[in-house]
Amino acid sequence: MKRILFVCLGNICRSPAAEGVLLAKARERGVKVYIESAGTGAWHVGDPPDPRMIKAAATRGYDLAYQRARKVDPADFYEFDYLLAMDLANHTDLMELAPPNRSADIRLFLDFADCETRETPDPYYGGEGGFERVLDLIELGAAGFLDHLEDESE
């Protein structure tokens, strides 16, 4: 079973959505994974995801309400197989924090997606449309990442 950690800035919008979407899509496809999410910043530790993201995800059948924000921990670089950053800034932060002997593969999540962008934009300061766009991208990323895991296991 692969262990995946999604990482964004505050762990209240993008990475919790990615956790919820990938968990649901993996169950649909029968792929066994362990998934968490975290932030590179600590502003929202202990908080639930942004209510706008919870609502947008729920309209698509994804449950995010159980999640609570946390900050990336040094142990994450050893306890997870993949640390998937939602954007280049968080990828850079992870690479700077990463110990040289880490076991985790640190990647941009959308590098697994068949889409025009490598970054999942932060919808925090925008309107509802931004949350829908993020979910669209995450669904593409989840499909591509699950394809990758299935190919890897063959």
In this prediction, residue 100 carries a pLDDT of 93
2-153 folds as Rossmann fold (3.40.50)
In this prediction, residue 134 carries a pLDDT of 98
In this prediction, residue 153 carries a pLDDT of 83
In this prediction, residue 137 carries a pLDDT of 98
Q: For 93-123, give one letter per residue: b (16+ CB within 10 A) or e.
A: bbeebbeeebebebbbbbebbeeeeebbebb
CA 140 – CA 21 distance, rounded (Å)? 10
List pLDDT tens digits, range 42-62. 999 999 999 999 999 999 999
In this prediction, residue 154 carries a pLDDT of 75
15 and 9 Cβ atoms separated by less than 8 Å: no
Q: Residue 148: is its pLDDT beyond 90?
A: yes
In this prediction, residue 62 carries a pLDDT of 98
CA 131 to chain centre: 14
In this prediction, residue 120 carries a pLDDT of 98
Q: Which amino acid is at 133?
A: R
Q: Residue 149: is its pLDDT beyond 90?
A: yes
Q: Which run of H or E residues covers position 127?
A: none
The domain segmentation of the chain, as residue ranges, is: 2-153
The two tokens of residue 40 are 């590179």
Q: DSSP labels for 9-54?
A: SSSSSHHHHHHHHHHHHHHHHT--EEEEEEESS-TTTTPPPPHHHH
Average pLDDT over residues 116-124: 96
**What are the residue numbers of the active site?**
8, 14, 122
In this prediction, residue 140 carries a pLDDT of 98
119 and 14 Cβ atoms separated by less than 8 Å: no
Average pLDDT over residues 10-17: 98
